[in-house]
Amino acid sequence: MMKHQTIIAVIVGMVCSLGTAAAEVATLENDVQFHQSAFQAADRNQDGVIDKAEVTTDVTAAFIGQDSNADRQLEPTELVGATAEQFAKVDTNNDGKLTLEEVMENKLQDFQAADTNQDGVLSQEEVLHFNPKP
């Protein structure tokens, strides 16, 4: 369970769209440490970078972890800490619910945006320096 939270944090820490109170509550001091542990959790094969497959796995796991009524859709009530604005950004068809596809699309966009050297993987530095627009 703890793992899901840190995974969400990496991906959401990157984007701030899937609700995670942790990412918002994190102070500047513990922010780096927080991201490092989240990064390590997401880096499943421990090669020091996060590739697309790892993001896909993590987003799926995070999605299932957040989907408390298991209907394969996330409603605002299931996303603690997400603002209406963040939610709307991911809800591309505006039906008030997030599907895995919508979330995945959003996360892969973030993945590409965070990949500043465009080598197809995210280094810890890239994740740390990625500043999503609020």
**Rounded CA gap, 47 and 97, in Å?**
35
Residue 112 in contact with Ca ion, rule: CB under 5 A = no
Residue 45 in contact with Ca ion, rule: CB under 5 A = yes
Alpha helices (H) along 43-122: 52-66, 84-90, 100-114
Cα torsion through 51, 41, 31, 129, rounded to 10: -10
Which SS3 state, helix, strand or coil, does residue 74 take?
strand
Work out which of 24, 31, 47, 101 binds Ca ion, going by CB under 5 A. Answer: 47
Nearer to Ca ion, 31 or 119 (CB): 119
Work out which of 30, 33, 60, 93 binds Ca ion, going by CB under 5 A. Answer: 93
Residue 119 in contact with Ca ion, rule: CB under 5 A = yes
Give me 103's structure tokens: 């979330």
Work out which of 7, 43, 106, 130 binds Ca ion, going by CB under 5 A. Answer: 43
Residue 115 in contact with Ca ion, rule: CB under 5 A = yes
Residue 71 in contact with Ca ion, rule: CB under 5 A = no
**Rounded CA gap, 88 and 112, in Å?**
20
Which SS3 state, helix, strand or coil, does residue 22 take?
helix
Residues 16-35 close enough to bind Ca ion by CB under 5 A: none
Catalog residues that contact Ca ion under the rule CB under 5 A: 43, 45, 47, 91, 93, 95, 97, 115, 117, 119, 126
